[in-house]
Amino acid sequence: MHELRKHIALEIHEVPTGTAVFDWIIPREWNIRDAYIKNARGERVVDFEKSNLHVMSYSVPVRQRISLGELKDHLYTLPGQPDLIPYRTSYYREGWAFCMAHRQFEDLRDETYDVLIDSSLTEGYLTYGEYLHKGETQDEFLFSAHICHPSLANDNCSGVALLTYLAERMAGLETRYSYRFLFAPGTIGAITWLARNENNSQRIKHGLVVSMVGDPGGPTYKRSRRGNAMIDRAIGHVLQHSGLQPVVLDFFPYGYDERQYCSPGFDLPVGLFQRSRFGEIPQYHTSADNLDFIRPEHLIESYRLIAQTLDVIENDAIYVNLLPKCEPQLGRRGLYGAVGGDKDAAAANMAMLWILNLADGAHSLLDIAQRAELPFEVIRKAAEQLRESGLLSASRVER
């Protein structure tokens, strides 16, 4: 949070332990200072200082001397990926555990170990950050990133970074929508925000959960529960014209915080944007999800795809052809190549012809772009030219 506040005027919210948020209760706050497993010679064979993944998140404090057999009941490893430390949490069941590489686990001798987890579970706060870019209207676009995974680079330091950068770049720009950026722990954070903003949640006209946006995979988009919300159509269009091999999935009730936004009592038009699909790459929830795994070029491409999506959302509108009977004479207005019969002359004019043909009050620019199989940008620019020539209504009309 403090890092983010260097870039954007993040508002920090703290919600006390014990607060009811719908069916949930804000749990005690977990903090940890140190943790280790020492062998009989006093050597730290597992050391929290070296990687904070070594301790299962939300582990209760422990200070004990135990046998290897007992210790094993509190160890997580990945036998199939023996060099990686798994990432494990246990928010809602009391317990403690260490996570370690399987190769190291196999080297443990049958001796007595000293284990320490110097953690505390105390009355405290759930903390989330919020930043609002105000637009022309109170209608909102919600961006949401989870911040609860320690040390994982792609999941989700990448999402936090991308949204911070986006919010920073947006400052000073005039936009049609207001943009809300939410940085909160997964699940309980989104639930808490929804519980505290229930009345205002219907202002959210579009939204994206952003996670895992720095790896080389994807891009992947998971539709909102509605399936054909504007966000679904806009990002689907952008991905279709991206030149990449996007994967677009229908909503399913497992994943990130879209689960909460898309619960039936809210049913908000919020999708999930990722590169690789969560759970489908070997680095997922392991120590291999580190800074070597993510790359600037992938973050930039993710940023670009989201920015293009916002371009669609901001600019889509219905304009009407003011001369709808027969085609207007484009040539006279300098909008058309005047020499007929050329085999190639047509291509450049197709965007205008499509707009004039479909701008009947029933089709938005995105509708037209989809029908014409042209990028939104091309249609948007042609529509500007037509508006300047007086052939298209100057302002948006309601559907």
89 binds a copy of itself (CB under 8 A): yes
Measure the CA–CA gap between 58 and 99, rounded to whole angstroms: 13
79 binds a copy of itself (CB under 8 A): no
Return the number of the residue (133 or 180) whose C-beta is nearest a copy of itself: 180
Pairing relationship of beta strands 178-184 and 140-146 according to DSSP bridges: parallel
Q: Minimal CA–CA distance to 241: which of 379, 350, 142?
A: 379
Which of residues 259, 275, 298, 380 is near a copy of itself by CB under 8 A? 259
* Residues in the chain, total: 399
Which of residues 50, 91, 173, 307 is near a copy of itself by CB under 8 A? 91
Return the number of the residue (240 or 357) whose C-beta is nearest a copy of itself: 357
Q: How far is the CB of 268 from a copy of itself (least distance, A)?
A: 11
54 binds a copy of itself (CB under 8 A): no
342 binds a copy of itself (CB under 8 A): yes
350 binds a copy of itself (CB under 8 A): yes
* Residues near 201 by beta carbon (within 8 Å), at least 6 away in sequence: 194, 266, 268
200 binds a copy of itself (CB under 8 A): no
Restricting to residues 298-327, name those near a copy of itself by CB under 8 A.
321, 323-327
Measure the CA–CA gap between 385 and 394, rounded to whole angstroms: 11
- Tell me if residue 222 falls in helix, strand or coil: strand
Q: Where are the alpha helices (DSSP H) in 92-137?
A: 102-106
Measure the CA–CA gap between 264 and 267, rounded to whole angstroms: 5
CB–CB of 178/131 below 8 Å?
A: no
Q: Which residues pair with 25 in a beta bridge?
A: 20
Strand order in the sheet with 125-133: 11-16, 125-133, 178-184, 140-146, 204-210, 270-274, 220-222, 247-249
394 binds a copy of itself (CB under 8 A): no
Return the number of the residue (216 or 253) whose C-beta is nearest a copy of itself: 253
Count of residues of this chain found to bind a copy of itself when the rule CB under 8 A is applied: 60
- Tell me if residue 113 falls in helix, strand or coil: strand
63 binds a copy of itself (CB under 8 A): no
* Residues near 340 by beta carbon (within 8 Å), at least 6 away in sequence: none
Q: How far is the CB of 24 from a copy of itself (least distance, A)?
A: 5
Q: How far is the CB of 340 from a copy of itself (least distance, A)?
A: 4
Return the number of the residue (48 or 284) whose C-beta is nearest a copy of itself: 284
339 binds a copy of itself (CB under 8 A): yes
Which of residues 266, 335, 377, 385 is near a copy of itself by CB under 8 A? 266
Return the number of the residue (44 or 396) whose C-beta is nearest a copy of itself: 396
288 binds a copy of itself (CB under 8 A): no
93 binds a copy of itself (CB under 8 A): yes
Cα angle, residue 313 at apex, residues 262 and 142 outer, rounded to 5°: 40
- Residue 101, both tokens: 């590489």
Residues that bind a copy of itself (CB under 8 A): 21-24, 86-93, 187, 190-191, 194-195, 198, 225, 252-254, 259-260, 262-267, 279, 284-285, 321, 323-329, 331-332, 338-343, 346, 349-350, 353-354, 356-360, 372
